[in-house]
Chain A
């Protein structure tokens, strides 16, 4: 390798290291400063972790509102809680937050590895994917919370990475066991991993049928089921449904449970004006968008408890409104990327390319069914973090579109890097607590 060809490689490695180091510092700082009680379901999560780590049993429905969530994260956070208690470290929930932060960083690493696996030589693509994931507000916020979402996402993304790697290279049963174990662990952390697991199984099954090689796919399915089946069986026996949730599903047709405004989002333009609760509550797309890029429910760096909208400090609304504008281009690119990967995978009959868009579509479909099945008055089932497992597909897809459509040459590489720096820089006041 000559000095001329070596320089870009060194710059690439330095950029990756710098982004990951900055992300680690950001997530650690936020986890340290964020009041654990302000995160989603924080009190219920702590009850679960406490009961699991002291009584060595699952909580009853009356003891924790999170009883329907699988136990892996609670076991780990509970162990950390017990250790913190014995050492007199306050708050005892801090290890759980640090675990969420570490998992958030792992998600960023896996996004980078996914991009490298699919397009090994395209360094700008890798960097764009990494930066978009690192600066994603939903990931940064979830990484500070006392919540299992980022750990489940890290496991699920890891499982997808192993599956993509296996599909691109020569699948062997060990790859299947690895992917199945990671996806199974994701599913015993959060059941949102189930649609991801199903999507991977469908693609792997299709690939196995085409190649007439079933061992790896069977190993994947068997491993994930071994991990997941005990939890599903427990839920079926204890609560009457393997997919039980912490509230009953209303009677009547599922089609009648949400008004038209839920699907159409008529107040979508208010997103750019006042993107906080209670405006456009229970309008799926506007509320999701506002919560992913901002903080619709006001659980992040705003005065607790949330006051009625017009009495919030102006800076709180202004900061979140700025986030809404920042999010437009990356959101369009993410959607474009998912569509582009789906089109390309279909045209080239590439199972490896199909995994990412299919996992995102499966997750989105499951999420829409969930929100319709369990309508809520206060809109608490519409949260950006519920869709965190779609982040790797969205970031890699967006990076693909940017890399393919940008003009070639060193100048344009600098322009692309500059645009990324702007997207990150404008968000920093919101992302750093």
Chain B
């Protein structure tokens, strides 16, 4: 076995691994639509965190969020999660909620505007941050 031959075998093996991984990625991309942000969040909350998720109702502000909305309970605290599509919309949602003086129950994290039923604990907040995309 010459060194050159061993190097060629190694290179072919390495390229085979890379090509196989790229094929899996390409096949997945072709057969799956990219989920929306709210779908990613819903899947994460249900599959990775084990929370029960339901549709938001009776909250006109959340229902106006262009990125969608959902409700879930994190460690006994109900939270309404709304997803905005721009910073301007984040500010609009925040301002709309501010009228009812929610204080620390209102938590803005990136494009996520979360309204908690009671003041959230750090771990409750983290429960939603972990599923923010």
Contact = CB atoms under 8 A, between A and B. Distances in A.
Nearest to B11: A336
A360 B48 CA distance: 31
A400 B7 contact: yes
Contacts of A397: 10
Nearest to B130: A378
Given A269-B29, A404-B4, A340 B18 contact: no
Interface in B73-127: 109-112
B6 A340 contact: yes
Interface of A: 264-270, 278-279, 285-286, 307-311, 328, 331-333, 335-341, 343-344, 347-348, 377-378, 397, 400-401, 404-405
Binding site of A, secondary structure by majority: helix, strand, loop or mixed? helix
A270 to B, nearest CB: 8
Contacts, number: 103
Contact of A405 (B7, B17, B110): B7
Interface in B1-27: 1, 3-4, 6-11, 13-15, 17-18, 21-22, 24-27
Interface of B: 1, 3-4, 6-11, 13-15, 17-18, 21-22, 24-29, 32, 37, 44, 48-49, 109-112, 130-133
Given A264-B24, A266-B32, A340-B9, 16 more contacts: A266-B24, A266-B28, A270-B25, A278-B132, A307-B109, A332-B11, A333-B14, A335-B13, A336-B13, A339-B9, A343-B1, A344-B6, A378-B130, A397-B10, A404-B4, A405-B11
Contacts of B109: 307-308
Contacts of B37: 310
17 contacts: A264-B24, A266-B24, A268-B25, A269-B25, A278-B133, A307-B109, A309-B133, A310-B133, A331-B18, A336-B10, A337-B10, A343-B10, A378-B130, A404-B4, A404-B6, A405-B4, A405-B7
Nearest to A261: B28
Nearest to A311: B110
B9 A267 contact: no
B25 A348 contact: no
Contact of A404 (B3, B14, B27): B3
Given A268-B24, A377-B49, A344 B1 contact: yes
Q: Which of A269, A285, A336 has the most CB of B within 10 A?
A: A336
A345 B11 CA distance: 16
A343 B14 CA distance: 13
Contacts of A268: 21-22, 24-25
A336 B21 contact: no
B7 A336 contact: yes
A347 B22 contact: no
A368 to B, nearest CB: 15
Q: Can you list the 3 inter-chain pairs with the closest CB atoms, starting with the nearest?
A: A340-B10, A347-B1, A268-B25
A308 B112 contact: yes
B126 to A, nearest CB: 9
Contacts of B111: 308, 310-311
Contacts of B26: 269
B21 A332 contact: no
Contacts of B131: 278
Contact of B13 (A270, A310, A339): A339
A310 B7 contact: no
B21 A348 contact: no
Contacts of A307: 109-110
B6 to A, nearest CB: 4
A308 B130 contact: no
Given A266-B24, A344-B1, A348-B1, A377 B130 contact: yes
Contacts of A311: 110-111
Nearest to A268: B25
Nearest to A278: B133
Given A308-B111, A310-B111, A344-B3, A401 B11 contact: yes
Q: Which of A266, A328, A332, A337 has the most CB of B within 10 A?
A: A266
A335 B17 contact: yes
Given A268-B22, A310-B111, A335-B17, A343 B9 contact: yes
B25 A404 contact: no
A135 B18 CA distance: 22
B17 A404 contact: no
A339 B21 CA distance: 17
A378 B10 CA distance: 34
